[in-house]
Amino acid sequence: MEMITVQQAEDIILSQTQDFGRETIPYTNALGRVLAEDLSADRDLPPFDRPTVDGIAICYDGYEKGNRAFTIKAIQSAGESSLSVDSETECIEIMTGAALDSSVDTVIRYEDILIDNGIATINIAIKKGQNIHLKGRDKKEGEVLVKAHQVITPAITGIASSIGKTTISVKKLPKVVVISTGDEMVSAESVPSPFQLRRSNGITIQSVLKKYGIQADAIHLNDDYDEIRQKVSQCMKEYDVLLMSGGVSMGKFDYLPKVCEDIGVEKLFHKIKQRPGKPFWFGKTQDQKPVFAFPGNPVSVFMCLHRYFIPWLEKSLAIIDNTPQFAVLQNDIDFPYPLQYFAQVKLNVNHLGQLIAESVNTNGSGDFSHLADTNAFIELPLEQNSFRKGEVYKIWSYNF
Ligand SMILES: Nc1nc2c(c(=O)[nH]1)N[C@H]1C(S)=C(S)[C@@H](COP(=O)(O)OP(=O)(O)OC[C@H]3O[C@@H](n4cnc5c(N)ncnc54)[C@H](O)[C@@H]3O)O[C@H]1N2
Ligand code: MOO
Ligand SMILES: [Mg+2]
C-alpha cells in the first residue's frame, strides 16, 4: 500500500471512533471527565435579593423625601430570615449576602454612613437600588448553566456543588492498555547495561491519558513474536483500545504488524507521509476495537499520540470544544523531503497578542531531550519544502 497522507490517516482514524456510553459519578471525582448532561439552575441565581456590601438597608422613598438619619431597627446577618423596617425612617444593619426584605430596596456601605447612638446618618449621594445583586439576575431557575460535552473544569465542579448536583452523568472512559516493546528497553528502576536504555514511552502515554482521567495499564514486552502474539491477543479481549509502541518498522525484530495481522486485526493503514512517526500502523480488531501501533522513537510516539489518538479520544467522548489552534512561525524552516513535517516549537504570545512558535533544532525522533522545553508540534504542509518566518500553521499543543 502506498504511504498515505496525514489527512487520510486522520480521516481513517476518526472514522473509527466509538461511543463508550455514560455513567454517573460523584461530582467530587468529576474533574477532567466529560460532562454528559446539561447542568441547570435548581432555583434563581441568586435565589434572593442580597446586598453586595456590608452596611444598612433602607427604603429609598424616605431618602428621596429628604431624610438622612435612619434609626437602626435590627442587625441582620447572612443566612438569617429577612428583617423588615416599619417606616421610611428606619433601617436594617445588614451584611453582604443576607436576604433583603421587600420593605427595603437600597443598601449603603458602612464607609458612607456615620453611626451614632443607634442612628445611621448618610453622608453621600445615593442611588435607588444600589449595592444589590437582584434575585434571578444571573440565571433563572431551570436555565442551563453548563452545557454537556465539555471537559469538567474546577469552575464546573463549583457550579455543580452550588446547585446540589452531587452526582453527575459523564462519558464513560475506554479501558486502555499501553504495550511497549523492545529488548533493549529496561525499567526506570534498573541500571542499564552499556547497550540498554531505560524505557519512557509507556509512562509518557499513561501520563497524557491522565489528563482525561484514564488510568491506563502498561506492560512491556520483549521483541519476541510468541510473547507479543500471546499478550496482544489477551489484551484485545480485556481492553477497549490498544496503544502500542515500537516494533512497527522494517527491522528483523519488528513484529507488531505481523502479529496483529496474524491474530485477525485488520490493517487500516501502515506508514504515513510524515516525520516523525512515518511507520505508524493502525488497525481494528474483529469487534471494532482500535489498535494504534506507534513507531518506537519517543518523539514519534508523542507526536502520533497528540496528532491522532487525542482527536480520536475527544471525538469518541463527544467533546465539542476542540477548535484547531494556529501559531505564527518565528523562524525559517527548510525541509526537503516529501513528508509532512512536525517541528517541535516553543510557544509564546507577542505584543500583538498573537500566538508565536519558535522551532528548536533536534536530532530526530529519538531525541526526546527537547520535549520538556517545547510546548507543541507545528504541522508544516506536505506540498512545501520551505517555511518562512511570519507564516501561520496549525499546532498540536502538548501542554498538560
Ligand atoms: N530500514 C528502515 N529502518 C527504519 C525506518 C525505515 O523506514 N526503514 N523507519 C525508521 C523510523 S522513521 C522509525 S520512527 C523507527 C520506528 O521503529 P519501530 O517502531 O520499529 O521501533 P523500534 O525499532 O522498536 O524502536 C525504535 C527506537 O525507539 C526506541 N524505543 C523503543 N521503545 C521505547 C520506549 N518504550 N521508550 C523509549 N525509547 C524506545 C528504541 O530504542 C529505538 O531506538 O524505525 C526506523 N527504522
Ligand atoms: O518517522 Mo521516524 O518517526 O522519523 O523517527
Ligand atoms: Mg524497529
The answer to whether the CB of 276 is under 6 A from ligand 2 is: yes
Residue in 254, 259, 280, 297 to alter for ligand 1 test, most ligand atoms within 8 A of Cβ? 297
pLDDT at residue number 379: 98
For ligand 1, atom 12, name the residue with the nearest CA.
Answer: 278
Classify 328 as helix, strand or coil: strand
Residue 396 CA to residue 277 CA, distance in Å, equals 14
Task: Give the number of other CB atoms < 10 A from CB of residue 45.
Answer: 19
Give distance in angstroms: CA of 385 to centre of ligand 3. Answer: 27
Ligand whose nearest atom lies closest to the CA of 368 = 1
- As a whole number of angstroms, the distance between CA 328 and CA 379 comes to 12
Q: Which of 279, 257, 253, 255 is nearest to 266 (CA)?
A: 257
396 — pLDDT class (breaks 50, 70, 90)? very high
C-alpha cell, 46 = 441568586
Domains in the chain: ranges and CATH: 6-20+173-316 (3.40.980.10), 23-45+137-171 (3.90.105.10), 50-133 (2.170.190.11), 325-397 (2.40.340.10)
Rounded-to-integer distance, Cα 156 and Cα 355, Å: 27
Q: In angstroms, rounded to a whole number, what is the distance separating the alpha carbons of residues 49 and 125?
A: 22
- Of ligand 2's listed atoms, the one at least distance from the Cα of 366 is 5
Which of 297, 341, 363, 367 has the most ligand 2 atoms within 8 A of CB, as the residue to mutate?
Answer: 297
Query: pLDDT band at residue 266, thresholds of 50, 70 and 90?
Result: very high
User: Rounded to whole angstroms, how far apart are CA atoms 285 and 18?
Assistant: 13
pLDDT at 257: 96
* pLDDT exceeds 90 at position 357: yes
Q: Answer yes or no: is the C-beta of 367 below 6 A from any ligand 1 atom.
A: no
Taking the CA of 298 as reference, the closest ligand is 1
Nearest atom, ligand 1, residue 296 CA: 21
Please state the φ and ψ torsions of residue 372, each to the nearest 5 degrees: -80, -25
**Cell numbers for 97:** 449576602
Q: pLDDT per residue over 135-164, tens digit each?
A: 999 999 999 999 999 999 999 999 999 999
Rg for the chain, CA atoms, rounded: 31
194 C-alpha vs ligand 1 centroid, how far in Å? 19
Instruction: Please state, in angstroms and rounded to a whole number, the distance separating the CA atoms of residues 50 and 315.
Output: 43
- Give percent of the chain with pLDDT exceeding 70: 100
* Contact of 94 with 55, CB cutoff 8 Å: yes
pLDDT at 1 over 70: no
Mean pLDDT, residues 327-340: 97
The closest alpha carbon to 327, from 362, 304, 352, 302, belongs to 352
CA distances for 322 relative to 311, 312, 319, angstroms: 8, 11, 7
* Residue with CA at minimum distance from ligand 1 atom 27: 297
Measured CA to CA, the distance from residue 338 to residue 355 in angstroms comes to 27
**Distance (Å, whole) CA 365 – CA 341:** 11
- Tell which atom from ligand 1 comes closest to the C-alpha of 181: 32
pTM of the model: 0.92
Confidence of residue 89 (pLDDT cuts 50, 70, 90): very high
Atom of ligand 2 at shortest range from CA of 279? 1
Residue 291 has pLDDT above 80, yes or no: yes
pLDDT (0 to 100) of residue 49: 98
Residue 17, Cβ neighbours under 10 Å: how many?
A: 16
Backbone angles phi, psi at 308, to 5 degrees: -120, -50
Which ligand has the minimum distance to the alpha carbon of residue 341? 2
| 75 phi, psi to nearest 5 deg | -115, 130
73 lines ligand 1 (CB under 6 A): no
For residues 111 and 98, what is the distance between their CA atoms, to the nearest angstrom? 18
Could you tell me the three cell numbers for 317?
A: 467522548
Q: In b/e form, how buried is each residue of 103-123, taking b as 16+ CB within 10 angstroms?
A: bbbbbbbeebbeeeeeebebe
Distances (CA, A) of 175 to 22, 28, 238, 239, 313: 14, 21, 8, 5, 12
> Is the shortest distance between the CB of 51 and ligand 2 below 6 Å?
no
Q: Are 86 and 80 in contact (CB under 8 A)?
A: no
**What CA–CA distance (Å, rounded) separates 197 from 205?**
18
Residues 6+ apart with CB under 8 A from 157: 27, 28, 30, 31
CA of residue 158 relative to chain centroid, distance: 16
Quick one: pLDDT at residue 360? 96
Residue 32 in this model has a pLDDT that exceeds 70: yes
Express each pLDDT in 345-354 by its tens digit.
999 999 999 9
Whether the CB-CB separation of 219 and 242 falls below 8 Å is answered with no
